[in-house]
Amino acid sequence: MDGAKEGLMTSLRIMPALVALMTAVGMFKASGALDVLTHFLSPLASVLHLPREVIPLAILRPISGSGAMAIFQDILKSHGADTLIGRVASVMQGSTETTFYTIAVYYGATKVSKTRHTLPSALTGDFVGFIMSAITVQLLFYR
């Protein structure tokens, strides 16, 4: 009984952070900012050999798992799973984390308020995952 009570209290404690995160993601997508950011990052993605079509997935993956899954499904419907774009998106989806969500949930549950190096380290890991997704797919399937 104590464990269930503690779990419920933890859920209530982290609920505001989760609601704020989900609201922010919805506003980001609905405002058109995702499209603007995708257009702005296209030259960098080209240099890094990332297909332009996976940029929205790379932007949303650290923020929202459900938002990234919706974009991932759209990519697979539009381009197919056996294309360069589909394969890069698949590897990217499996090799990166929903960083902000994870930090909000776990740090909220443990009452950690000083994240210091967590966010820069986690986002660096995500960035490396994005780049390596494209490189790995190209090495394994297209060379």
pLDDT tens-place string over residues 3-29 = 788 778 877 877 777 777 678 777 877
* Closest-CA residue to 34 (of 72, 75, 71): 71
d(CA 141, CA 143): 6
Residues in the chain: 143
- Residue 12, Cα to own-chain centre: how many angstroms? 24
- Residue 56, Cα to own-chain centre: how many angstroms? 9
Does the pLDDT of residue 30 top 90, yes or no?
A: no
Predicted pLDDT of residue 143:
72
Whole-model pTM?
Answer: 0.77
Please identify which residue in the block is written with the tokens 């505001």. 16
The arithmetic mean of pLDDT across residues 111-122, rounded, is 86
Which range is least confidently modeled, 87-96, 109-118, 129-138?
A: 109-118
Q: Give the E-state strand segments of the chain in sequence order.
A: none
Q: How many C-beta neighbours within 10 Å does residue 34 have?
A: 18
- What is the identity of the amino acid at 143? R
* Per-residue pLDDT reduced to its tens digit, 123-138: 999 999 999 999 999 9
